[in-house]
Structure 1
Amino acid sequence: MSEAVPFEAYLSSLSRLAPYVDPTTPTPESEGLRLAVADLESLDSISVESLTDWVNRYPHWANVFGLAVGLSQEQLKNSLKSSLGTSGWVTLARKRPADLVNFFEDEFELVRALESQRSRTYDFADILIARAGTRATATRSQSAGRMVEDRITDIAEELGLPYVARSSFVGRDSENKPADMIVPSVADAKIVVAAKGFDSTGSKLTDAYREIADVAAHRFANQYVFAIVDGIGWHSRLADLRRIHDLWVSRKIDGMYTLSSLGQFRTDLRNAGLRLGLIDV
């Protein structure tokens, strides 16, 4: 396995996982919202009946109702699933438009919200306040974390290694341990990989360290443990990052990598696979 690099060198290799997105740059989604809002503003009147007709004609714009009452996409899906039995707003708009609009009206006073908002003039402070209440950053962070997981499973596939993604295995203490990739199977976890990519900070980074430390403390003698740890969120959790790095220095885990060193991860994963007889020479 590769030798541990100095902590400062590792720290300098951390990268932003989710690219910065200028909120004023037009996207297909933002242009679609503009069209939807323009069409809503052109309605002669706002009522349950007119909104039912409108959303049935434009089912792909049904999520605009959720935005109008302050729901994130996740909140909208969860609310629809709980109340109407499905989170698919497009299907609801096509097949059950009256149920969909009545749901919004009963739960969130949709008609009043649209009437008060569609003709109002907003200033810069209103825009910033609205952005402060969104979950866009959290959504991008989740996507970034999943991207790291996808990169490591892509490498396993390239090497021909069987694996299970996002599961758990039984450690030496007979307790279940989470892992983002297990090779070759949950029942025979010869290689376990943790993928901890965060552009935002918070207690979840400390939880990430604890997960890795727990796996390291209860690994089997013939088991390989790797960790991919990247993202600018770690700059605000240097103590936790250093603790993970210390596990590498003390050889309690077999490797620690950022996205920029995935080439070394590929080499180490291949060598582990060869030693374990999981890859044909």
Structure 2
Amino acid sequence: MPSIPSFDEYLSSLGHLTAHVDPTASSPEAEDLKTAAASLAGLPEVTRESLSAWAKENPAWVPALGLSVGLSQEKLKNQLNHYLGSSGWRTLAKTRSSELVDVLDEYFDVVRLVEAQRVKTYDFGDLLVARAGTRQTAARAGASGRKVEDDIEEIVKHLNLPYEVRTRFVGRGGRTAPCDLVIPSTSEAAIAVAAKGFDSTGSKLTDAVREILEMAEVRTPRQFIIAVIDGIGWKMRQADLKRIYDLWESGQIDGMYTLASLDVFRSDVESAARLRGFLPQ
């Protein structure tokens, strides 16, 4: 097994899971947001430079730029923390407004979207599409979580290993724990994998930590227990991520990977499967 990276090295390897989707429309939710929208509409021209100056002058209105590209306040904070190391948009707007706008333009096309939306006339259909946006966001969040599961399942398929997904495995003393993939079966678990990918924060991250703690608690000495964890939502819950990392560092689980290190995941699973007789030596 390779040496364990530091927690900071693991943290820096977390990446995006959800693809950004261009919004069709956004509607103001408060008078302050309407004022911000009117201010953006009144800019003589929309460029990175003009938006940078606007953000520096109006730091409290930065969420309006986020909504212009379809980012809620939570998602905006997560993206800023991921790219700029801070989720505080007011401070960033005051001290690093050019970098803030550069991120929003490079990754979310803010210049084009602000220019296009500030002159567009919206109809009833646009209003319905905007109101349906929360359902679309929820669907994309579910898809992002499944991406990690799908990627590890594909690796196990290519190794021609028997497996079951989204189940519980039997460990020490007949106790069970949840897992997202188990080799070869729930009742004869030799390798159990947790797959936890989140680009946003919430109770699901707390549940993920609890599940991995359960896996470590019931494992037998012969069971190989590993976790694949990714998504920038974990950067806002570093204490929870550190609890899982500590299990790895102390040997209570056998591996911890991101999508960027799936080649190592594949190699470790293959080695564990050979040791347990599921693949020829």
> 1:163 Cα deviation (Å)?
0.6
Deviation per residue, 1:21-67 (Å, 9 max, x gap) = 11239xxxxxxxxxxxxxxxxxxxxxxxxxxxxxxxxxxxxxxxxxx
1:204 aligned to 2:204? yes
**What RMSD in Å do the two structures reach over aligned CA positions?**
2.2
CA distance in 2, matches of 1:171, 1:219: 5
For the Cα contact (< 8 Å) 2:17–2:197, is it kept in 1? Answer: yes
SS in 2 for 1:243: helix
User: Post-superposition, which runs of at least 4 consecutive aligned residues in structure 1 deviate over 4 A?
Assistant: 120-124, 126-129
User: Structure 1 residues 175 and 9 mapped into 2: Cα distance closer, same or farther (>3 Å)?
Assistant: same
- Alpha-carbon deviations, 1:133-184, whole Å to 9, x = none? x222221111111111111111111112111111111221533311111001
2:170–2:188 contact (8 Å) kept in structure 1? no
Q: How many residues align?
A: 185
Aligned to 1:277: 277
CA contact (8 A) 1:2 1:268 kept: no
Give the structure 1 partner of residue 10 of structure 2. Answer: 10
**Contact 1:16–1:231 at 8 Å: present in 2 too?**
yes
Query: Which residue matches 2:151?
Result: 151
Query: Is it true that 1:187 corresponds to 2:203 in the alignment?
Result: no
Structure-1 separation of matches of 2:150 and 2:218: 26
Answer yes or no: is the 8 Å Cα contact 1:17–1:231 preserved in 2. yes
> Alpha-carbon deviation of 1:188?
0.6
Identify the residue that residue 231 of structure 2 maps to in structure 1: 231
Do the aligned partners of 2:177 and 2:218 also contact (CA within 8 Å) in 1? Answer: no
- Maintained 8 Å contact 1:168/1:179: yes
Q: Which has the larger radius of gyration?
A: 1
Give matches, 1:47-66, under 5 Å: none
Partner of 2:135: 135
Offset of residue 2 of structure 1: 2.9
| Aligned residues of 2:170 and 2:176 also touching (Cα < 8 A) | yes
Are the counterparts in 1 of residues 193 and 225 from structure 2 also a CA contact under 8 Å?
yes
Q: TM-score, normalised to structure 1's length?
A: 0.62
1:244 deviates by 0.6
CA distance in 2, matches of 1:277, 1:192: 16
What is the match of residue 177 of structure 2? 177
Given that 1:194 and 1:212 are in contact with CA atoms closer than 8 Å, whether structure 2 keeps it comes out as: yes
Residue 3 of structure 1 and its aligned partner are, at CA, apart by: 2.4
**1:38-53 matched pairs, under 5 angstroms:** none
Q: Quick one: distance in 1 between partners of 2:186 and 2:125?
A: 55
TM-score by length of 2: 0.62
Q: 1:187: how far off?
A: 1.4
Distance 1:122 1:226, change over 3 A: same
Q: Which residue is equivalent to 1:263?
A: 263
**Identity between Structure 1 and Structure 2 (%):** 49
| Aligned AA (2:161) | L
Structure 2, unpaired ranges of 5+? 26-121
> Shift of residue 127 of structure 1?
7.2
Give, as a single letter, the amino acid of the residue that structure 2 aligns with 1:200: S
Would you say the 8 A contact 1:2–1:255 is kept in 2?
no
